[in-house]
């Protein structure tokens, strides 16, 4: 394997709470468990690293109670910049109910202050895979920096975009600029629908195909359909790569696991169908464990793939 997965998204702190169900407005509920860990982009980077890829973190981070948790977590990766000394990292309250669904409330900190000068510290090579997150594009400072930086990347370098649950809130100009330099768009079912509002009740496969013209010529759209698998739309047409049926207990980080392992597989030059099937398997394994960074080790993913 040559090159690295260069991650430009946000690493924050996840304050995870397991609850039976969401309380009614003005109500309360007692959590059965809690975790305070690094999360956000840390999950995708961990997934890529566990699948064997070298990873470089190109995002921003802070100093303070939450920044200390982030900095400790980043010790396992190459890091492009020194971080900010006068601003703490942000955090997210993650509520996971008995259906394994998760709900987020996020406070933005230093990770929302990524500037073009920070990105210019990153020396990228054509063999790298650059991963962009919609969470990063949602912050005005980051969005300005990323949309200025992406067009200057080497022509042969591939960009993977995970639009995130905030995709509907992204300014059209920011989203359009990011998509125009995207080679692989990987979105979950909800995000795919938000990206194609004019298609009304169209199936996910049709929506994936409709998104392709918004990417770089020759781009690929991956529409993740939970346990059903993922639809691929590319020059070869549209097809479903089936998923894996598991007993899900926590869907936090499933999309990150998929994105990270997908990036690692692309870095190895795996064919797109092979890469997506591997990412499907990793995401399935991730939801069988509680917590954010639950992506499997490569050997565990191999066992599931070989068993099917």
Residue 165: inside a domain, yes or no?
A: yes
DSSP structure class, residue 274 = H
Q: Give the pLDDT score at 223.
A: 98
Domain count, the chain: 1
CA distance 200 to 207: 10
- DSSP for 121-156, written as a single string: T----TT-EEEEEHHHHTSHHHHHHHHHHGGGS-TT
Average pLDDT over residues 13-33: 94
Range of the domain at 233: 5-11+40-83+111-307
DSSP structure class, residue 22 = P
Residue 280: inside a domain, yes or no?
A: yes
Residue 291: inside a domain, yes or no?
A: yes
Specify the CATH number for the domain of residue 172.
3.40.1190.20
Structure tokens at 150: 């992406």
Structure tokens at 241: 């790569």
User: Is the confidence at residue 1, as pLDDT, over 70?
Assistant: no
Residue 25: inside a domain, yes or no?
A: no
Q: Which helix (H) or strand (E) holds 273?
A: helix 272-286
Q: Are 129 and 266 contacting, i.e. CB atoms less than 8 angstroms apart? A: yes
Residue 14, classed as helix, strand or coil, is: strand
Burial-class residue 300 by CB neighbours within 10 Å (0-12, 13-18, 19+).
middle
Per residue in 214-245, pLDDT (tens digit) is 999 999 999 999 889 999 999 999 999 999 98
Bridge partners, 66 (sequence order): none
- Of 206, 155, 158, 147, the C-alpha closest to 185 is 158
User: Is the confidence at residue 33, as pLDDT, over 70?
Assistant: yes
User: How many C-beta atoms surround the C-beta of residue 20 within 10 A?
Assistant: 12
Per residue in 128-166, pLDDT (tens digit) is 999 999 999 999 999 999 999 999 999 999 999 999 999
User: Is the confidence at residue 251, as pLDDT, over 80?
Assistant: no
Residue 98: inside a domain, yes or no?
A: no
Burial-class residue 115 by CB neighbours within 10 Å (0-12, 13-18, 19+).
middle
Residue 101: inside a domain, yes or no?
A: no
Q: Give the pLDDT score at 243.
A: 95
Residue 90: inside a domain, yes or no?
A: no
Q: Give the pLDDT score at 81.
A: 94
Per residue in 259-300, pLDDT (tens digit) is 999 999 999 999 999 999 999 999 999 999 887 778 999 999
Per residue in 40-91, pLDDT (tens digit) is 899 999 999 999 999 999 999 999 999 999 999 999 899 999 999 999 999 9
User: For residue 269, what are the CA distances in angstroms to 70, 76, 129, 273?
Assistant: 31, 24, 11, 11
Task: Provide the whole-model pTM.
Answer: 0.93
How many Å separate Cα 222 from the centre of its chain? 13
Residue 258: inside a domain, yes or no?
A: yes
User: Is the confidence at residue 25, as pLDDT, over 90?
Assistant: yes
Q: Give the pLDDT score at 294.
A: 87
């Amino acid at each position: 394997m040559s090159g690295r997965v260069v991650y430009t998204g946000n690493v924050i702190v996840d304050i995870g709470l397991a609850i039976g169900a969401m309380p009614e407005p003005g109500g309360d509920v007692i959590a059965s468990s809690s975790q305070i860990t690094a999360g956000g982009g840390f999950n995708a980077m961990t997934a890529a690293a566990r699948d064997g890829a070298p990873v470089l973190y190109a995002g921003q981070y802070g100093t303070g109670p939450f920044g200390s948790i982030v900095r400790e977590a980043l010790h396992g990766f190459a890091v492009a910049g020194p971080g900010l000394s006068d601003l703490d990292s942000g955090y997210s309250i993650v509520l996971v109910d008995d259906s394994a669904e998760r709900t987020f409330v996020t406070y933005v900190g230093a990770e929302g202050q990524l500037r073009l000068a920070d990105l210019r510290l990153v020396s990228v090579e054509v063999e790298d895979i650059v991963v962009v997150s919609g969470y990063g594009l949602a912050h005005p400072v980051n969005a300005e920096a990323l949309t200025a930086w992406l067009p200057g990347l080497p022509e042969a370098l591939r960009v993977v975009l995970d639009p995130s649950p905030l995709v509907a809130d992204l300014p059209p100009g920011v989203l359009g600029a990011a998509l125009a330099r995207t080679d692989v768009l990987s979105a979950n079912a909800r995000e795919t629908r938000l990206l194609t509002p004019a298609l009304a009740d169209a199936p996910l496969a049709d929506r994936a195909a409709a998104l392709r013209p918004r990417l770089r010529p020759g781009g690929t759209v991956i529409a993740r359909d939970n346990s059903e698998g993922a639809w691929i739309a590319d020059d070869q047409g549209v097809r479903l790569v089936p998923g894996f049926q598991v007993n899900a207990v926590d869907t936090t980080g499933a999309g990150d696991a998929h994105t990270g392992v997908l990036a690692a597989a692309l870095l190895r030059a795996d064919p797109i169908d092979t890469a997506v099937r591997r990412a499907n398997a990793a995401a399935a394994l991730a939801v069988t464990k509680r917590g954010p960074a639950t992506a499997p080790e490569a050997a565990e993913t191999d066992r599931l793939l070989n068993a099917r």
